[in-house]
Structure 1
Amino acid sequence: MPRMVAPPPSGEFQIMLSKPFNGTPTHTIEVIGEPNREASVRMSNYNGSNKASEKSGSVPQDDVRELTSLVSTLRGFPSHPSKDVYGLDTKVDFNTFELQWSNEDDDAAMQDGVLADEQKDEFKRIVESIEALGRRFAKQDAAV
């Protein structure tokens, strides 16, 4: 059963990447905005449960469009509530008014545990894109 998350207001999106898949995060990247507009990005690193550093910035409109298009391909990808089926120890959440997806969702189709290599490769490419976007645009120190 999919998790119950309230969708953001119409037109807005939120993309959240966190490592590790389970437990207290050590690294997060969050992108919030509206399609076809500039978005905000925040990249945080943690030392235990305390935030050690946080950087923020703006993502240009063209990069937002590319990112949302890329992440929306996750629709229908398998997920599992307690294990990272993609082998990257990374959790990705994607929320729009129309679509809510997380690789932490309870997916009945994942009972057999078989995942296509193409899906693993695509998920890895999306994770790497989100991380690169965070490194590139989250440059300003934020108050911790």
Structure 2
Amino acid sequence: MPRAVAPPPSGEFEVRLMKPFSGAPTHTVEVIGEPNRSASIKIINHHGSNTNEKKGDVPADDVQELLRLVERLRGYPSNPEKDIYGANVKIEYNTFEIQWASDDSDSVADVIKEIAQEQKDEFKDVADSIDALARTFAKKDSAV
């Protein structure tokens, strides 16, 4: 089922990672930009009522690599209630043409009893890559 959020303007993308899969997020990474250009990245860590936010810029080459990785998740099953990939993380990928999230409502996922280990590994690799991108480029303190 398509996401109910408005897509970003034509040519822009947004990639978001949130931990944990269910409940209030304790860790969020957001990457917003346009393909073939640098993008802005923000990492937010929630510690109770305290929030630590860092931001930075991702070079165009790394943006292209991120988009190649996230694009591989397109068409993967999703489930709003169950962490079907076992990574305890949600990933969202939004462009003008594509709106996909690992916690979307997906009738296919309701039928699938077990996700292939290859898909689980791929999902975890993409999540780890998004986190690594944030650790590498989101270094500047941001006013919260």
Give the TM-score range, shorter chain: over 0.9
1:46-69 Cα shifts (integer Å, max 9, x gaps): 023x34210000000000001011
Other-structure match for 1:87: 86
CA distance in 1, matches of 2:78, 2:43: 24
Q: Do the aligned partners of 1:14 and 1:94 also contact (CA within 8 Å) in 2?
A: yes
Structure 1 residue 86: Cα displacement: 0.5
Give 3-state SS (helix, strand or coil) of 2:118's partner.
Answer: helix
1:8-56 Cα shifts (integer Å, max 9, x gaps): 00000000000011111100000000000000000010023x3421000
Q: Do the aligned partners of 1:79 and 1:102 also contact (CA within 8 Å) in 2?
A: yes
Measured at CA, do residues 39 and 17 of structure 1 come closer, stay the same or move farther in structure 2, by a change above 3 Å? same
1:80-124 Cα shifts (integer Å, max 9, x gaps): 011110001100000001111000011111123221111001001
CA distance in 2, matches of 1:44, 1:115: 30
Give 3-state SS (helix, strand or coil) of 1:46's partner.
Answer: strand
Q: TM-score, normalised by structure 2?
A: 0.96
Q: Do the aligned partners of 1:85 and 1:113 also contact (CA within 8 Å) in 2?
A: no
AA aligned to 2:4 is M
Other-structure match for 2:55: 56
Give 3-state SS (helix, strand or coil) of 1:65's partner.
Answer: helix
CA distance in 1, matches of 2:12, 2:23: 28
Q: TM-score, normalised by structure 1?
A: 0.96
Give 3-state SS (helix, strand or coil) of 1:11's partner.
Answer: coil
Give structure 1 stretches of 5+ with no counterpart.
none
CA distance in 1, matches of 2:88, 2:120: 12
Residue 109 of structure 1 pairs with residue 89 of structure 2: no
AA aligned to 2:98 is L
Other-structure match for 1:43: 43
Other-structure match for 1:125: 125
- Report percent identity of matched pairs: 58
